[in-house]
Chains A and B, each alone.
Chain A
């Protein structure tokens, strides 16, 4: 469960995120959408405790991200936009390092690493150096890293980027399975992915939440593309319709 309340983040004069509030329930995948530069990554960095908010609060699994940051960080798995990999480590040694700093007990380490390798389809490359892996594998190691300590909350920033179609299907299946007893925030630019996976959709534009609703309600009359374009373009007119036609094509 994630509760974001009135979150604002300013960098000097620039307001990256303005008064953002939304809630993600356990067992739910929340699709977090928005154009580039809308404040998605900033919001996710605040939720994971990487950046402090200027004002507002975030509660993750009942713990306040500012007051009980340590408890939150134990329970959260985070895949940033670019997977945080050490190029000179092998897949296994990297996962062992991450598991240890995430607080996995020593006797559970081998199981945790095996499980992450299996689940993310990395068993064949477990002894390869991270710097030598292809983009798809790097992305999967990034996901394995987010899962290794069995967190109750997952924050995934574009998890399927750079994967081939089969891997995308695998990862989506995996995310759906994981979401059964977890809270998942999924940021992506691929709208069909949201339509397939997410129960709830939050759209952010220019630092403000413009849509927060269930996928079902949103797509009752319009397609998700239309909803998205309508949300992120203020004037509805010919330009907008042209955009929809483009997306549909």
Chain B
């Protein structure tokens, strides 16, 4: 456990002493701010439109949760698909390339401690990213009355999806000593998991439901709607645990190759 914290601390430091952390955080918040501004502007436009029509039924459907926060979270999750590979690409690939892998592997550390240390380092970084975007719903809470429970559930979803992405990123990074290969294969895997349910409607009931189950967006969407279902939590936990398990195997393979 002590070793896990030592490695996690080193990982987190390495993000913040290089420009990576600042570039990623700035980009994430810049895009997030742009999404938020535009969603809010559209919301205001609809509000003035519906009130000038004196359409009370449409007015009741117009709320901050559905029209600002939900699309914002979906957009942020797409940005994470692109940014998380950049965060995780270094984790194993860089150690292998620079020779520090030899130091880690010849130290009295368990493979589990190495993998978990790297995972928690990246997780804390993702947590910082997600928490910084909490500024947008905070602004809404100050000036409006969105439903807090739905926001909390959506943010749980965003954190889970980021954590799942990180686990996949660690896995692809453990396969190679080339950071670009690590990043690209992570990006492709995440995008595939993201859009895998597209043919679900036309591919029959069995395959359709399998594809829907595999899709990250379907499960994330439920959480954004404010529905915390064990099925979705189990899905995210399975992706995380499976990826970390495979990372562990991949790192350990040096011992039996």
Contact = CB atoms under 8 A, between A and B. Distances in A.
B3 interface: yes
Contacts of A48: 102, 106
Contacts of B257: 52
A85 B109 CA distance: 18
A103 interface: yes
Contacts of A82: 99
B98 A87 contact: yes
Contact of B10 (A83, A85, A97): A97
Interface string B97-119: 01111111111111000000000
Contacts of B254: 50-52
Contact of A101 (B14, B109, B256): B109
A137 to B, nearest CB: 17
Interface stretch (A73-81, A166-174, A223-231, A240-248): A73-81
A88 interface: yes
A55 to B, nearest CB: 13
A243 to B, nearest CB: 32
A101 B3 contact: yes
B18 interface: yes
Contacts of B3: 100-101
B256 A52 contact: yes
B99 A80 contact: yes
Contact of B6 (A50, A86, A88, A97): A97
A85 B100 contact: yes
A136 interface: no
9 contacts: A50-B106, A52-B254, A52-B256, A52-B257, A73-B107, A84-B98, A84-B101, A100-B6, A101-B104
Given A86-B10, A93-B13, 17 more contacts: A51-B254, A70-B108, A73-B107, A76-B106, A78-B103, A81-B99, A86-B98, A86-B100, A87-B98, A88-B14, A89-B14, A97-B10, A98-B103, A98-B107, A101-B7, A102-B107, A145-B103
Interface of B: 2-3, 6-7, 10, 13-14, 17-18, 98-110, 254-257
